[in-house]
């Protein structure tokens, strides 16, 4: 069994299935009473969204994975793309047309938190509603709508025919219907979905498990607007239903009793409960008291934890790479020499070995090992070079940081992030001469950080912490989907020859040529003549406390599949006595 973790989560659940006996077979389920297999966990932040077309962070994506089905999914052991809503697919000889056969028995459901009922949605005639190819057409076209403000829409627009024209429309409020109709997705019938690409992209099938192109319920969205994702309103089609969402406090999801049996998953967790806590120390204390099933481990507790709980600890290389980004249009970071100086003066190796206590690998470029097209870990990029950094700052007109203005660095909340940004402050003082009082630091929740870093230059921070976990196993998901000038809404890159090279690599058919192109692109970003929109720091390989009654495989791509996690319920209850 492979054991890994992208985010800490929690579960518990419900049960029995009741079918109506006459007319169209509209399904209804009720909450079972009795002893439910329950997973309990914590998080340090709220869920930013449950809307599949808007999700762009790991917390949201984890829940979306369990509340909605995707077109396809990833096998957790092999990482192969496997059927989900689509039972099979074919690809045209020219690589432009993908035709999917959609299964017809996945119901759209609504859960009533007050009564515990799970009811299948019906149309105006009272007929039961099942997921159709048309629902995918609606979701995919919705992902191209610039008015939704989805980061991942830009990723889809890069490959889907006609999507880019809509997403980058000059007048988003008045997009011609003809342009929407020209988006390369159609449903000749309720069981057939056709997706047309603007050019052959060898990695497109690996994108089809993405939540951004999931089917969504048009009628519920139109009825409730932005509130459609709230408990009681939300209409879903996945293995779980939303029972409770008290923003900033807690959330509960329960098993969907109406899900087809062969799609329920191999897990046994009936109910997942997550409580929001202020920090990892609180989470860890709850784990020690057997009140939660999984935990991150505070840095100060790691050595003792490994000594005392080695048999309940796993180390997870989740392929997430963390970095400090620059607002490239905001002085002084509009000067490439300043960006290079700040990047090359950060000692990633020492940070990983000492502050992270070995929980990671230092990174000199962006894409990690295991991603197709990623260069060898030590062959591309500057990394830590304090002499180069010092000379670059002098070239920018700030020798030994003389005359350097005060700048802001925004990190997301948490003790470990504070240690990270204080380490950066110390490095910049040691290697560049920039005193700590020149780097004003602040911390916000992850959701607030995402909002703040999209603001205009006057309000946005100069720098911020972020990380990127893979959505699919291709270098395009890194240098293309994160750094493409057309939707780098935070760093505000201007389009240049790097983007032309990324576009070439995206649609190149020869895999060896693609690898060569990506090595060149990484160097153009992070080499000695690099643009440095941000500087990569480390690949996370974190220790996680996991009680012995847990049995799970961890997803490297997409959201965590809670429906495949198992708890030895007798062992858990015995430990809690």
DSSP string for residues in 1-35: -----SS---EE----EEE--SSS--EEE-PPPS-
Instruction: Give which of 38, 21, 19, 37 is closest to 29, Cα–Cα.
Output: 19
CATH dotted code for 316-540: 3.10.105.10
For every residue of 181-197, DSSP letters joined together read HTSSEEEEETTEEEEEB
pLDDT of residue 150: 80
CA angle at 508 for the pair 505 and 511, rounded to the nearest 5°: 95
Q: What pLDDT score was predicted for residue 489? A: 80
Q: Is the dihedral of CA 432, 365, 446, 565 positive or negative?
A: negative
Q: Burial level of 304, CB count in 10 A (0-12/13-18/19+)?
A: exposed
Tell me how far apart the alpha carbons of residues 575 and 547 are, in angstroms, rounded to a whole number.
10
**Secondary-structure percent of the chain, ordered helix, strand, coil, rounded to 5:** 35, 25, 45
Confidence (pLDDT) at 218: 97
Q: How far is CA 406 from CA 290, 409, 436, 462, 464, in A?
A: 46, 10, 10, 10, 15
Tokens of 284: 């860890």
> Residue 387 is encoded by which pair of tokens?
């002499």
SS3 per residue for 205-257: HHHCCCHHHCCCCHHHHHHHHHHHHCCCCCEECCCEEEEEEECCCEEEEEECC
Residue 85: closest CA among 108, 65, 67, 106: 106
Contact criterion met (CB below 8 Å) for 352 and 541: no
**pLDDT for res 431:** 97
Find the angle CA(176)-CA(221)-CA(187) to the nearest 5 degrees.
60
Domain residue ranges in the chain: 11-277+547-575, 316-540
Are the CB atoms for 143 and 152 separated by under 8 Å? yes
d(CA 356, CA 351): 6
Rounded Cα distance between 48 and 214, Å, is: 18
Question: How many angstroms separate the Cα of 260 from the Cα of each of 104, 132, 209, 263?
Answer: 10, 15, 19, 5
Structure tokens at 471: 């959505």
Q: How many CA atoms lie within 13 A of 508 on its CB side?
A: 20
Q: What distance in Å separates the CA atoms of residue 365 and residue 525, rounded to the nearest whole number? A: 8
Q: What pLDDT, on a 0 to 100 scale, did the predictor assign at position 414?
A: 78
Alpha carbon of 158 to those of 144, 161, 232: distances in Å? 10, 8, 35
pLDDT by residue for the chain (577 residues), tens only, comes to 333 333 323 322 233 222 233 345 677 776 554 578 999 999 988 999 999 999 988 899 999 999 999 999 999 888 889 999 999 999 999 999 999 999 999 999 999 999 999 999 999 999 999 999 999 999 999 999 999 878 888 889 989 999 999 999 999 999 999 999 999 999 999 999 999 999 999 899 999 999 999 999 999 999 999 999 999 999 999 999 999 999 999 999 999 999 999 999 999 999 999 999 988 999 999 999 999 999 999 888 999 999 999 999 998 888 899 999 999 999 999 999 999 999 999 999 999 999 998 999 999 999 999 899 999 998 999 999 999 999 999 999 999 999 999 999 999 887 788 989 999 999 999 999 999 999 999 999 888 898 899 999 999 999 999 999 888 889 999 999 999 898 778 999 999 999 999 999 998 989 999 999 999 999 999 999 999 999 999 999 989 999 999 999 988 888 999 999 999 999 999 998 8
Instruction: Report yes or no: 23 and 275 within 8 Å, Cβ to Cβ.
Output: no
- Tokens, residue 396: 């920018």
- Those residues with Cβ within 8 angstroms of residue 307's Cβ, 6 or more apart along the chain or in another chain: none
Contact (CB, 8 A) for 177 and 121:
no
Quote the pLDDT of residue 23. Answer: 42
Query: Across-strand partners of 88?
Result: 101
**Rounded distance between C-alpha atoms, residue 358 and residue 540, angstroms:** 10
- DSSP per position, 312-381: GEEEEEEEEEEEEEE-TTSTTTTSHHHHHHHHHT--HHHIIIIISTT-EEE-SSSSPTTSBTPPPTTTSS
Alpha-carbon distance 348 to 427, whole Å?
A: 10
Quote the CA–CA distance of 222 and 229 in Å, as a whole number: 12
- The two structure tokens encoding residue 97: 């047309």
* DSSP assignments along 500-569, one per residue: HHHHHHHH-S-HHHHHHHHHHHHHHHHSTT---SEEEEEEEEEEEEE-TTEE----SSSS--GGG-EE-H
Please tell us whether the domain made up of 11-277+547-575 is placed in CATH 1.10.3470.10. Answer: no
- CA-based nearest residue to 274, from 248, 304, 256, 296: 248
Q: List C-alpha distances in Å: 172 to 70, 481, 561.
A: 27, 22, 36
pTM of the entire predicted model = 0.83
pLDDT of residue 34: 56
């Amino acid at each position: 069994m492979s054991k890994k973790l992208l985010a800490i989560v929690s579960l518990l659940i419900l049960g029995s299935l009741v079918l109506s006996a006459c007319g169209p077979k509209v399904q209804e389920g009720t909450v079972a009473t009795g002893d439910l297999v329950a997973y309990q966990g914590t998080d340090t932040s709220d869920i930013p969204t449950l809307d599949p077309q808007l999700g762009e962070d790991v917390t949201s994506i984890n829940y979306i994975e369990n509340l909605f089905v995707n077109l396809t999914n990833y096998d957790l052991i092999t990482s192969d793309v496997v059927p989900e809503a689509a039972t099979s697919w074919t690809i045209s000889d020219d690589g432009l047309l993908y035709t999917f056969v959609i299964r017809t028995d996945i119901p759209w459901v609504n859960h009533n938190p007050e009564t515990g009922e799970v009811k299948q949605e019906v149309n105006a005639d009272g007929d039961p509603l099942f997921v159709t190819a048309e629902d995918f057409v609606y979701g995919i076209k919705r992902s191209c709508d610039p008015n939704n403000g989805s980061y991942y829409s830009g990723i889809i627009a890069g490959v889907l025919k006609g999507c880019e024209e809509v997403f980058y429309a000059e007048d988003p409020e008045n997009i011609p219907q003809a342009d929407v109709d020209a988006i390369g997705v159609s449903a000749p019938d309720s069981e057939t979905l056709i997706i047309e690409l603007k050019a052959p992209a060898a990695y497109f099938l690996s994108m089809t498990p993405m939540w951004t192109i999931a089917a969504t319920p048009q009628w519920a969205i139109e009825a409730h607007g932005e509130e459609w994702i709230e408990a009681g309103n939300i209409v879903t089609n996945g293995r779980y239903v939303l029972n409770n969402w008290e923003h900033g406090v807690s959330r509960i999801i329960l098993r969907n009793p109406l899900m087809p049996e062969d799609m329920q998953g191999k897990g046994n967790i009936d109910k997942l409960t997550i409580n929001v806590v202020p920090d990892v120390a609180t989470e860890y204390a709850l784990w020690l008291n057997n009140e939660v099933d999984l935990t991150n481990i505070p840095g100060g507790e790691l050595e003792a934890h490994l000594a005392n709980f080695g048999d309940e600890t796993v180390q997870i290389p989740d392929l997430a790479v963390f970095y400090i980004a620059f607002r490239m249009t905001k002085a002084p970071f509009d000067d490439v020499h300043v960006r290079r100086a700040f990047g090359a003066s950060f000692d990633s190796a020492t940070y990983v070995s000492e502050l992270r206590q070995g929980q990671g690998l230092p990174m000199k470029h962006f894409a990690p090992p295991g991603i197709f097209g990623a260069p060898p870990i030590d062959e591309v990029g500057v990394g830590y070079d304090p002499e180069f950094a010092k000379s670059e700052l002098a070239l920018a007109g700030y020798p030994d940081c003389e005359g350097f203005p005060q700048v802001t660095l925004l990190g997301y909340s948490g003790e470990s992030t504070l240690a990270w940004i204080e380490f950066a402050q110390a490095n910049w003082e040691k290697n560049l001469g920039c005193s700590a009082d020149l780097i004003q630091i602040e911390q916000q929740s992850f959701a607030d950080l995402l909002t703040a870093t999209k603001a205009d230059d006057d309000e946005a921070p100069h720098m911020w912490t972020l990380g990127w976990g893979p959505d699919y196993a291709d270098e395009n998901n890194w240098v293309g989907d994160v750094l493409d000038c057309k939707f780098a809404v935070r760093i505000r890159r201007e389009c240049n020859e790097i983007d032309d090279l990324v576009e070439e690599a995206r649609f190149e058919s020869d895999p060896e040529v693609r690898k060569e192109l990506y090595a060149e692109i990484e160097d153009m970003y992070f080499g000695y003549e690099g643009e440095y929109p941000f500087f990569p720091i480390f690949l996370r390989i974190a220790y996680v406390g996991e009680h012995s009654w847990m049995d799970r495989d961890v997803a490297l791509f997409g959201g965590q599949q809670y429906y495949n996690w198992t708890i030895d319920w007798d062992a858990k209850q015995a430990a809690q006595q």
